[in-house]
Amino acid sequence: MKKIVVLTRKWPEAVEAALAQKYDVTLNESDQPFDAAKMRSTLASADAVLTTVTDKLDGSVFESNVIKAQIIGNYGVGYSHIDIEAAKANKVVVTNTPDVLSECTADLALTLMLMVTRRAGEGERQLRAGKWNGWRPTHMIGSRMTGKTLGIVGFGRIGRETAKRAHFGFGMPVIVFNRSKIDPEVLAETNATQVESIEALLSEADIVSLHCPGGDANTHLINVQRLALMKPTSFIINTARGEVIDEQALVNALQRNEIAGAGLDVFENEPTLSDGLAELENAVLLPHMGSSTRETRDQMGFRVIQNLDEYFANKKPGDQVA
């Protein structure tokens, strides 16, 4: 008998078809997120639940008399939306999908850097609104990215790929803050320097790019006090998790021109934005597109299938995080 697998959102067609060949799959045709009650009932009835960042699997959804699910296959790298300890307590394995989206997300980080430093979003809005009156020497003056110091917070796969693009593509010196010591050979790949504190990085960098995990340890890592350390000419980029930045504090700093701009692909209360954020011309806002290429989204799904196959073959999944 095939294992029962439930998808909490609509996935790429090729991935859904591949799952259906191997498993008894229930698809989410409406593509609406599960509420807590639906998630609890799914954990009680399925052998595997395939989740995304839009799902909230806190301790309450595991409070069921019977949990049938043996594995949660998360579609994405981050898993701070899953209560890992509650999953472990209920003997539910959790996997993620690292590696396959590193380059794609790094590409988007550089896209945000270019857009915010060169005021590309602001310029396009002006053009589409019919407000452009032609070229002139003082129009849309932005900031050059080449040669500026890039500060990277979190030097995992995505952080390293971002450093490569910035250093070799734009000649940017790279400084890094990471909670653990980084292998000198890894730093040498981009001639990067590890600094001892996030405060030192924020005060020195011209562009700060966040690539650290979400979760309690990093919630509001960038707060009022740390934003105040940044240069008034500096920019902050977030392709990590929305909760890493105190979003209202960022709005206030941007409104007061305490920093030059922000490029955000993730938000603290997705899909809701903090008051005032959408009105800021010095903020570039994208709808969580870091991994949104056809190639990457397919690869993420196939990586979930690989983890399922390994688990149900009584092997430890290669991407098991709990």
In the prediction, which pLDDT does 54 show? 93
- pLDDT, tens only, 200-221: 999 999 999 999 999 999 999 9
In the prediction, which pLDDT does 136 show? 97
In the prediction, which pLDDT does 238 show? 98
Q: Which of 16, 189, 258, 270 is catalytic?
A: 270
Statement: 102-285 belongs to CATH 3.40.50.720: yes
Has 211 been annotated as catalytic?
no
CATH topology agreement for domains 4-100+294-312 and 102-285: yes
- pLDDT, tens only, 80-100: 999 999 999 999 999 999 999
Q: Which of 241, 247, 297, 303 is catalytic?
A: 241
* Mean pLDDT score, 267-283: 97
Query: Which among 240, 267, 239 has a CA at the least distance from the CA of 250?
Result: 267
**Distance separating alpha carbons of residues 198 and 222, to the nearest angstrom:** 9
Laid out side by side, the sheet with 261-264 consists of: 193-194, 174-177, 150-153, 207-210, 235-238, 261-264, 283-285
DSSP string, 247-265: HHHHHHHHHTTSSSEEEES
Residue owning tokens 């966040």? 210
In this prediction, residue 230 has a pLDDT band, given cuts at 50, 70 and 90, of: very high
Has 199 been annotated as catalytic?
no
Distance of CA 131 to the CA centre of its chain: 34
Has residue 65 got a pLDDT over 90? no
Residue owning tokens 């500096």? 234
Residue owning tokens 């857009």? 115
Where exactly are the structural domains of the chain?
4-100+294-312, 102-285
* Mean pLDDT score, 274-300: 98
Has residue 64 got a pLDDT over 90? no
Q: Which of 16, 220, 288, 310 is catalytic?
A: 288
In this prediction, residue 304 has a pLDDT band, given cuts at 50, 70 and 90, of: very high
In the prediction, which pLDDT does 207 show? 99
- pLDDT, tens only, 11-55: 999 999 999 999 999 999 999 999 999 999 999 999 999 999 999
| Cβ(132)–Cβ(79) below 8 Å | no
* Mean pLDDT score, 304-322: 98
In the prediction, which pLDDT does 138 show? 97
Domain 4-100+294-312, CATH class in plain words: alpha beta
- Helix ranges restricted to H, 171-246: 184-188, 198-204, 224-227
- pLDDT, tens only, 121-161: 999 999 999 999 999 999 999 999 999 999 999 999 999 99
Has 128 been annotated as catalytic?
no
Cα torsion 257, 261, 266, 269 to 10°: value is: 10
